[in-house]
Structure 1
Amino acid sequence: MVRRGVIAFIVSVAFVSTAMAAGSSSSSTQRKSVDYEMGIQAIKVAHYEKALSLFGSVVEAEPDNADAWNYIGFSNRKLYRYGDALGAYNKALAIDPDHRGANEYLGELYLQTDELEKARERLNRLDDICTFGCEEFDDLKAAIEAYEIR
């Protein structure tokens, strides 16, 4: 009986980890809005202006959507609008301080603006959040290491 419980737990952990969208903080299987899904697609093909418009609609309807704010920050960062990116990441983190994507991307923004110590603070935050490790921690750590040897 205990063995079945352990197997069910392992299967549920595997499902949750595969359900996670890059840049999101939740494992919810709740259906995302059409604008949200189209925004993800716009980002995948580097249409950041379009993504900003779509995610702007998302946060109009759902001002507490940390994932959408994170993607607004990401899109602005890719367009070199660092001030707008910073504001969006801060909104995402005000809603969800443990948002892995926003912590990673904010750290990457800090590297782009030559604020290494602030990037390391985001890495330390991810270390606290990601008890068993996570891709966001690994990605930011690699970005910091690349920054340090450039």
Structure 2
Amino acid sequence: MKQIVLICGLISSLALASGGGGPAPQSSANQTSQQLIEVERLVKAQQWTAAEAQLKALRVRASDQADVWNWSGYVARKSGRLSEAFPYYERALQINPRHLGAHEYLGEAYLQVGDVGHAQAQLDILRTLCGQCEEAEDLAVEISKSKP
């Protein structure tokens, strides 16, 4: 029995020592996640053009990811391209109807065009989904600021 354990240990050591010719390739999901982290960094720095360039590639390669479309809407809205933002948020919500950030930011976009009713509808959805979560509270504050 000791010999079997010893042999298994040696084989494992040899397998580890042989390496694999470099790091394993990143999975598509991991690569998308890393790019979204970079997009968030660019957004925080208000580097809209660079963020949009990253998102443009992601919309092709990871078109099934709600976060890609939500960030696309956010960047479009903050860049002054409000008409582009709405379809991006809607696409995010088609992919994931429970995407809290997309509901919040869509509500904020509605406020920017003076549509308090649709913003309130997004807040109502958020309250149903998450109660008093951060996204709901942030949108509620923005709605209260928009009322006379």
TM-score (norm 2): 0.76
Aligned to 1:3: none
Matched, 1:125 2:125: yes
Counterpart CA distance in 2 for 1:122 and 1:89 is 12
2:135 is the counterpart of 1:136: yes
Query: Where do 1:1-150 residues align within 5 Å?
Result: 31=30, 33=32, 34-131=34-131, 133-149=132-148
Contact 1:35 1:57 in 2 (8 A): no
**Secondary structure of 1:63 counterpart:** coil
The CA deviation string for residues 19-53 of structure 1, in whole angstroms up to 9 with x for no partner, is xxxxxxxxxxx745332221111101001121111
SS of equivalent to 2:147: helix
Aligned-partner residue type, residue 137 of structure 1: A
Corresponding residue pairs, total: 119
**Where in structure 2 are there 5+ consecutive unaligned residues?**
1-28
Greater CA deviation, 103-112 or 48-57?
A: 48-57
User: Structure 1: how far apart are the matches of 2:91 and 2:50?
Assistant: 20
Whether contact under 8 Å (1:77, 1:85) holds in the other structure is yes
Structure 1: runs of 5+ lacking an equivalent = 1-29
* Partner SS, residue 90 of structure 1: helix
**Shift in Å at residue 117 of structure 1?**
0.3
Higher relative CO (Cα under 8 Å, sequence separation at least 6) belongs to 1
Q: Counterpart amino acid of 1:69?
A: W
> Are the counterparts in 2 of residues 126 and 137 from structure 1 also a CA contact under 8 Å?
yes
Could you state the TM-score of these two structures normalised by the residue count of structure 1? 0.75
Identity of aligned residues (%): 32
CA RMSD of aligned residues (A): 1.3
